[in-house]
Amino acid sequence: MFQQPNTNLVVVTGAAGYIGGMTCIQLKKQGFQVIAVDERHNLHLDKFYDEFIQDDFTGIDALSLYKKVYPCAIVHCAGTSLVGPSFENPALYFHNNVARTNILLNFITNEIPETKVIFSSSAAVYGEPVGNYCLENNRTDPVSPYGESKLMVEKLLHWYHYSHGLKYVAFRYFNAAGADPEGEHGQEPGATHLIAKLFDAALNDTDFTMYGWDYATPDGTCIRDYIHVADIANAHIKAIDKFVEGIYNLGSFTGMSNLQIQNKIEEITNKQIVTNIEPRRKGDPAKLIADSSKFRSMHGWIPEYDLDSIIQDAHTWYTSETYKSL
């Protein structure tokens, strides 16, 4: 008799990270057993793991564990992120994000073929979008090695599905933002995302650098679609269902400019942020807004948190004792 996957057990790679950690929290709240895999160890997340393996997600210990527990799904959040540094060291991105994921997918299809892969992709696969909103069937033309590495993994998933029947879902996140609404987890100190940098400047009375003031947008700064990290985690849980498959955008349908975000953070902190203007960075499109109607209409996913909630939850996290202790 063939072994069957454990329908109540999920592995999360990159579990010590921002999105991976939030996914572990939500999975535990929904009653799943959670096996966490990461090369780093964030102690504040330990209570949301049933077991933690400190290892590369393709390390011997990790692969042995996958085979032993046979999870119903692997939520694959591990990898190297950030657009800017990918130009400086593209080899790192293609090795960590593509080559290692290829090892993982090959292992799954050979050893635990009923395990579903839920992959953290990115809006960066679109490059410079055409039209007001990004749709899943739009052209994919990344403008950074980071975006290219995510698109390459999407293609790996497609061909492993075609050749071996791999079950998968790939989510193209737009700008993950906010923090656990109960204050348990969020981005770590030193994070380079816009909201993190703005709070860092406001709460520590330091300068903030705005990259690009001459985009073809109403105030000249980039426009992005922000989606709460808890809404992303809940989408991961929906994707475990056997009837969910394919590629989906995760976003809010709403674009906010960098300057609008800065104004909101100045308001909540009651601080005026000293801003330095620098030229545009490579790989930063003027506007990225998701059309996420496909996942909403097909699988009933509805984001629970708006931008004000994102900013409030982030503020709670950045002023928490847990954050200060990291």
Name the residues annotated as catalytic. 146
Residue 161: Cβ-neighbour burial (10 angstroms; 0-12, 13-18, 19+): middle
Burial call 71-104: b when 16+ CB within 10 Å, e when fewer? bbbbbbbbbbbebebbeeeeeebbebbbebbeeb
Is 281 strand, coil or helix?
Answer: coil
Q: What residues contact residue 198 under an 8 Å CB cut-off, 6+ apart?
A: 208, 261, 262, 265, 273
CA distances from 6 to 54, 166, 241, 313, 314 (A): 22, 17, 13, 34, 35
Q: What residues contact residue 135 under an 8 Å CB cut-off, 6+ apart?
A: 249, 291, 294
